[in-house]
Structure 1
Amino acid sequence: MRKILALLASLVVSAAFAAPVPGELAVSDKAAPIATLRIAPANAVPRSLRFAPLPAAEVEKIRTSARTQLKRMRIGVARDVSQAEGAVPAAADLQWVAVPGGFAARISVTSPGAAAMRVALDVSGAPAGSELVFFGSTRPERLEGPVRVDAIGDRTSAWWSPVTEGETLTAEAFIPAGNDPAASGIAVRQAAHLVISPTENVTKALAKIGEAGSCNIDAKCVDNPSQAYINARNSVARMSFIVGSGAFLCTGTLLNDTDTSSQIPYFYSANHCFDAEEPPYRTQAQKQVIANTLTTFWFYESATCGSLTLSTSMVQVTGGSTILHADLNTDVLFVRLVNAPPAGAFFAGWDPALATPGIDILGIHHPRGDLKKVSQGSVIGYITPDLVPNPPANGFLRVRWTAGTTEGGSSGSGIFSFDSSLSQYLHRGGLLGGEASCTAQSSPDFYSRFDIAYGSIAPYLNPGATPAFTVTGLWYNPAEPGWGINLTQHASYKVLGAWYTYAPGGNPLWYWLADGLWTTPTTYTGPLYVLSGPPPTGPFNPALVGLRQVGSVTITFTNANSANWSYTVDGVSSAKTLTRFDF
C-alpha cells in the first residue's frame, strides 16, 4: 500500500504543475545604437562637481556589510550633492556647444578613490529627442549609451546612469535644435561611489571589500561544456542597483515564457535584494523606486578559464525594471527589464514541479561581485528559515554544495536542474541566503521554491494557462447520482482530478486526471490514468503496482459552477454535464 501511495504522490506532484518549459536564445530585432560623443575634444570644457574623499569608516562599513546570512552585497554609497564641495552646476551653468542637430554640454562628477561611479540625473524637464552618453576616467574610450531621455519610463524622480570606471564620471547631454538647453533642467542630484569597477583586476577589486572565497569555480572552467550549460550560464546577469544611501549587488536569471512570438525580458531574483533587512519593510512602490535604478551586466565572466581578465563580450544594459511580483515571505522578485538583454543572452527554461531531495543542481552566480562562478550540489530537503518574517512551512529548498559555494553578491542567483528530455538546464529557484562558504562548504544554502512562486508569475510566463476561476471542489451530474469528480486546483493553476465511477460489472473504479494544462481560461485537458495494486488485507507485493493511461479528458467550464466533461476511455468516447456540488 505504501508503494501505491508513493505512486499516487508522484502523480499529485506531476499533476499539480505545468510541463517544463524550454529556454531560447535571445535575438536582437534591431541593431543597438552606437554611442558617440558630439563635442569635439578641443571644445570639451565640462563643468565639474567634486566630493570630498569618502571617510575611512564608511569604506570599512562597506567592507563588512556583506558578511551576513542574506547574500546581498553592498558595494558603495550614494552621496547627495549637498555633500559636494562648491556649488552644484545647473543646466544654465553648463557650457553648451552648438553641434549638428542641436546643442551639447558635459558635466564631470568626481568622488576621490572610487573604483567606479554612477550619477542620478534630473531629466524631468529635458525635451523630446534629448540624449545622454557617459564615460569614466579610467577608460574614457568606453562609452555607455546613448540613452534617449524619451525612453526613460519614470522621470518624476532622478534617473540613475550606467556604471562607469574610475573616480570621475562624465556625462554628455544633447538637446535638439529648437530648444533652449539652459532651460532643460538637467542636473546632478546624487552620485554613487562604488568600490568595485566592472573591469578592474578582480583580485585588486575584491581586496577592497574582503577576501573572495578560493573554492569558487570559474564558470569558464567547465571541461567540454555542453550547449545546455553554456545556455544556462548566458541566462545569468550581475545586478547593480541603489537602495537608499547604498549601492548593492545581486544576481538574477532571465526567464523564458511560453509565447514563441515574442521575447519579453522577465527576470527572476530575490525580494530581499530590494527590501529592507528588518521592519518596516518596503512597499511595492518603494521597491519600484529601487527597481528603476537597476542596471545589469551580461557575459560578466572571465575571458578564459582562470584568467582575471573580463571577457570583451561583457555588455551593460541600463534602463531599470518594472516589478511584477515581489514577495517578502517567499523571497521572490520577478521583474520585467525595461530594455532587452543583448543578443546571445539566453532566456532560461523552467520547471514548476517541486524540486525533490536528491536532485542534482547547478548554481550560477556572482559571489562578491566577482566574475561569474558555478557551484555544483544537490537539493537535500526543505526548510522554514528565520531569514524572512513569515515563511511558508518548508517553503524553501535546502541545498548542499559539493563543489563551489555562494557568497555576498550571489543573492537571487538561480539553481538549475537538468532535463534530459529537453537537453536543457531548467531554473528551480533563487538564493535567499544560508550558511555555506568556502570554510563551511557542507553547510546548507536556502533557495526560494519556483513551484511556489509559479502561481503568482504564471500569468506572465504562461499566459495561456491562467484560468478564469478556481475549480476546486466536488463536481457531479444531478441526474446521475453515484459518480462524480473531485478537482483540486493548485496555486500554480494546475489541476488534479479523481473520477470515481463504476466498471461494467458494477465494481467501484477510480480514474486520475494528471499532467493536464489550461488551453484557454475555461478549458482544461489532460490524460486519464488508472492505478492497480495489491489489496490492503494481505502482504504488500510491489510487483502488483501498476499505472496505465486509458485515455484523456477535456473539461470546458461554462461558468464557475457548470462544466462539460468530455472523455475517452479505452477507445470509447462520451460527454457529460457537471455541476459543482454546493455544500
Structure 2
Amino acid sequence: MRKVYLLIALFACQLAVAQVTNESTPKSWDLAFKSQPQKITMPSIDLEAIQQQDAIDDQIRNKPYKFGHKIPVDLNLFNSGLWTELENGDRLWRLNIESKGARTINFLFDRYDLPVGAEMYLYNNDRSDRMGPYTENENQEDGILGSWIIYGDNVWIEYYEPAAVKNQGRISIEQVVHGYRGFGIEEENYLKLNESGSCNVDVQCNPNLGSSTGTDWTTIRDNYRQAVARIIINGNGLCTGTMINNVREDATPYFYTANHCLGASDGASSFYNANNWSFGFEWFTNTPDCATFANTTGPFNPTQVLNGASLKMNHGFSDTALFELNQTPPASWNLYYGGWDRTTTVPTEQLGVHHPSGDIMKLCRNDQAAVAQNVTIGGVTANTWAIADWDYGVTEGGSSGSCLLNNSGQIIGELYGGAAFCNGTVDNGQPDFYGRFSTAWNGGGSPATRLRDWLDPDNTSPNTLDGEFYDILNNEEINAVISIEIYPNPSSGLINVILENPASYDVFDLSGKLIQSGSFNQVENQLNIKELANGIYFLRIQDGNNSITEKISKI
C-alpha cells in the first residue's frame, strides 16, 4: 500500500465522536408544560417463573447473566406520547412508561434515525437518573439501537427536534425491558451498587493484598480499569469484555469477550447482529470496599457508554468472541487497549478484572499456576485455563467474558464459567475456567473463527503484544513539515522512501531497540529490511530538526 504524508508540527490526529453520558440535562427540565402525556403501563411479569429459570441458568453459568424481561410493544412518534411545539418552532416529544416493580427499565428500538441537531434523553420520574443525549451519532444502517438502563419503574423518553429538521426524525420502540435484578440490592430504596457477593473486591482495592509472589499488580490494574466494560446484551443480558490492541497499533476499537455471551454457532459474523448491544466503560469507585459486608459507595452507572458492534470472529472451543465497536471511543476517554500473549506458556499467577452480577468493577487474583484443561459446562466443551481457587476476590454471573491477565499485563483468556462464588467475605474454594487466547489465535481455521486475522492482519506473527493507551496509539507528533511517501508497506524486503530532502533514519523494534541506521541521500530511496524478522518496526526519519516516526511491517 502506498501512503502519502504531509505532516504538520505537533499534529495529533484524534477522531471526534459524540458520546452518551449521564451528565447532560434534558431540555424539558427547564420548561413548564400545560399538559402531560398519558402514562403507558406495561403488563405485569411472572417473576416467580422467571426466577425459577434463572436459578437453573445461574448454576450453569455459560449464558449471559439475565437481569431483565422483555415486553413487546409498538410505540413510536406517531401513535403514542405527546408533542409540544416551543415558541421558536422547535418541538419536544415525551413518552412516559411505567412497569410496576421494575428495578430498572431500558428499551430496544427497531427504528432509531435522528437528524443532525436532534437529541433523545432517557430519565426516571424523580429525575435521579438520566442518560443522554443520544444523537445522530447513534444512527446505524439497520436502525436498531439498544439503550442503557435507567433506575426505577417509571421512565420517560424525550425527543428534541429543531424546527430546521421538523418531521425528519424516526423513533420506534419494539421492546421495553423490565429489569428485575442485577443492578442493586433489594432494600427500601433500590440501590445501584452491591449486587455482587461480599467477598468481591473493588478494583481500586490493593491488588497485592495477601500475596507473597512479589508481583506488583498496581500498574496492570490501573491500565485495565480503563479497558474493561460492562455489556448489556440484546437488552436483557450482562457480560464483561475488554478493549484489545492489534499489531498495527492503530486504535481500531476491537473488543474481546466470551463466545457464550452471544449464544451463536462458530463463525457467526456474517449474520450476527450486535447493534443493540451497549458498552459502559470506566465504572469504578475511588472509595472501594475490599471484601467486607459494607456497601460500596460510588457512581450509580457508567458515565461513558457506546452503542453497537460488529462481530469479527467467534469460536466455541476457546469460548472467544471479538467485536469491533461501531463507535470510536472519544479521545478524551483515553481508554487502554489491552495487550495479549498467544503462547501456551503456563501463567504462574493471574489477575482478573470484571463486573460480577452487573456490579461496579471488581478484581480477583490467583497466586498459583493455572492449569490447561478441557471443561464441559452445559454440554459445551472449551479449552481453558483452570483457576483452582481464587486467593483474593471471586467472579460471578455477569463476569463472563472478562479478561484473565498474566503478570506481564497481557490477556491470556476470557471467563468461560465455573463454580466460584462468595461464602461470606471469602470465596467458596471452587474453580473458574477461562477460554484460552492461544487456542483462539488459530481457532477454527478461518477469519470468522480465529483471532489472528484481526489482531495481526499483516501476518507478522508476534507471540506477544503489549497494551497501550489511546493517546499513544492515535497520536503522531511531528516537529515540522515533512513530505514523504512510503511503499509498499507491509513489505517482504524493500520499501521505497520518497523524500524532498536528504535525511537520516533509524529502525526500532517494538521494544524500542535500535535495529539499523543509515541515511537517505536521494529523492527516491530504498530501505532494505530483508534480514529483519517478520513483525512491526518503527522507522524514524530526521531532516535537521524535523522528524517523523512511522510504523512499517516486514512480512
SS of 2:397's equivalent in the other structure is coil
Q: Letter of the 1:451 partner, please give it.
A: S
1:579 — aligned with what? none
Residue 214 (structure 2) pairs with residue 215 (structure 1): no
* Match for residue 74 of structure 1 among 58, 66, 69: 66
Structure 1 pair 523–458 and aligned structure 2 pair: CA distance change class (3 A): farther
2: distance between equivalents of 1:457 and 1:179? 43
Q: Following superposition of structure 1 onto structure 2, how do residues 172-191 of structure 1 map, counting pairs within 5 Å? A: 172-178=158-164, 181=167, 185-191=170-176
Shift of 1:367: 1.5
Structure 1 pair 93–442 and aligned structure 2 pair: CA distance change class (3 A): closer
Q: Following superposition of structure 1 onto structure 2, how do residues 525-540 of structure 1 map, counting pairs within 5 Å? A: none
Q: Deviation string for 1:327-349 (max 9, x for gaps)? A: 23321111122234464453243
Checking the alignment, whether the CA contact within 8 Å between 2:200 and 2:394 is kept in structure 1 is: yes
2: distance between equivalents of 1:302 and 1:144? 19
Rg comparison, structure with higher value: 1
Residue 339 (structure 2) pairs with residue 350 (structure 1): yes
Q: Letter of the 1:170 partner, please give it.
A: W
1:304 — aligned with what? 287
1: distance between equivalents of 2:149 and 2:434? 29
Structure 1 pair 274–121 and aligned structure 2 pair: CA distance change class (3 A): same
Residue 430 (structure 2) pairs with residue 436 (structure 1): no
1: distance between equivalents of 2:266 and 2:244? 27
Q: Following superposition of structure 1 onto structure 2, how do residues 441-460 of structure 1 map, counting pairs within 5 Å? A: 441-455=428-442, 456-460=450-454
- With normalisation by structure 1, the TM-score equals 0.65
1: distance between equivalents of 2:462 and 2:50? 48
Residue 98 (structure 2) pairs with residue 110 (structure 1): yes
* Match for residue 95 of structure 1 among 82, 101, 106: 82
SS of 2:60's equivalent in the other structure is coil
SS of 1:171's equivalent in the other structure is strand
* Match for residue 392 of structure 2 among 369, 387, 403: 403
Q: Percent identity?
A: 23
* Match for residue 272 of structure 2 among 279, 287, 290: 287
Residue 148 (structure 2) pairs with residue 162 (structure 1): yes
SS of 2:198's equivalent in the other structure is coil
Q: 5+ unaligned residues in a row in structure 1: which ranges? A: 1-25, 83-87, 420-424, 468-488, 494-517, 525-550, 553-563, 569-583
1: distance between equivalents of 2:313 and 2:64? 19
Checking the alignment, whether the CA contact within 8 Å between 2:207 and 2:363 is kept in structure 1 is: no
1:12 — aligned with what? none
Q: Letter of the 2:201 partner, please give it.
A: I
2: distance between equivalents of 1:362 and 1:206? 31
1: distance between equivalents of 2:462 and 2:205? 41
Q: Deviation string for 1:182-204 (max 9, x for gaps)? A: x8553322100112475x55888
Shift of 1:414: 0.4
1:383 — aligned with what? 373
* Match for residue 354 of structure 2 among 365, 377, 381: 365
- With normalisation by structure 2, the TM-score equals 0.68
Shift of 1:207: 10
Structure 1 pair 458–521 and aligned structure 2 pair: CA distance change class (3 A): farther
SS of 1:520's equivalent in the other structure is coil
Two-structure CA RMSD over aligned residues (Å)? 4.2
1: distance between equivalents of 2:380 and 2:58? 23
Residue 144 (structure 2) pairs with residue 171 (structure 1): no
Checking the alignment, whether the CA contact within 8 Å between 2:112 and 2:145 is kept in structure 1 is: no
2: distance between equivalents of 1:265 and 1:344? 13
Q: Letter of the 1:174 partner, please give it.
A: Y
1: distance between equivalents of 2:79 and 2:532? 75
SS of 1:384's equivalent in the other structure is strand
Q: Letter of the 1:357 partner, please give it.
A: V
1:248 — aligned with what? 237
* Match for residue 404 of structure 2 among 376, 392, 415: 415
Checking the alignment, whether the CA contact within 8 Å between 1:123 and 1:185 is kept in structure 2 is: yes
What is the number of equivalent residue pairs in this alignment? 439
Checking the alignment, whether the CA contact within 8 Å between 1:254 and 1:265 is kept in structure 2 is: yes
Q: Which moves more between the two structures, 402-411 or 446-455?
A: 446-455
Shift of 1:408: 0.8
Checking the alignment, whether the CA contact within 8 Å between 1:107 and 1:171 is kept in structure 2 is: yes
1:143 — aligned with what? 130
SS of 2:454's equivalent in the other structure is helix
SS of 1:272's equivalent in the other structure is helix
Structure 1 pair 188–434 and aligned structure 2 pair: CA distance change class (3 A): same
1:520 — aligned with what? 490
Shift of 1:371: 2.0
Checking the alignment, whether the CA contact within 8 Å between 2:421 and 2:428 is kept in structure 1 is: yes
Checking the alignment, whether the CA contact within 8 Å between 2:39 and 2:97 is kept in structure 1 is: yes
* Match for residue 331 of structure 1 among 304, 313, 319: 319
Shift of 1:388: 7.8
1: distance between equivalents of 2:189 and 2:430? 27
2:261 — aligned with what? 273
Structure 1 pair 432–135 and aligned structure 2 pair: CA distance change class (3 A): same
Structure 1 pair 32–320 and aligned structure 2 pair: CA distance change class (3 A): closer
1: distance between equivalents of 2:422 and 2:398? 15
Structure 1 pair 438–201 and aligned structure 2 pair: CA distance change class (3 A): closer
Shift of 1:299: 2.5
Residue 227 (structure 2) pairs with residue 235 (structure 1): yes
2:7 — aligned with what? none
Q: Letter of the 1:387 partner, please give it.
A: I
SS of 1:407's equivalent in the other structure is coil
Structure 1 pair 106–567 and aligned structure 2 pair: CA distance change class (3 A): closer
SS of 1:317's equivalent in the other structure is strand
Structure 1 pair 305–125 and aligned structure 2 pair: CA distance change class (3 A): closer
Structure 1 pair 363–77 and aligned structure 2 pair: CA distance change class (3 A): same
Q: Deviation string for 1:537-574 (max 9, x for gaps)? A: xxxxxxxxxxxxxx99xxxxxxxxxxx97589xxxxxx
Checking the alignment, whether the CA contact within 8 Å between 2:266 and 2:315 is kept in structure 1 is: no
2: distance between equivalents of 1:36 and 1:233? 27
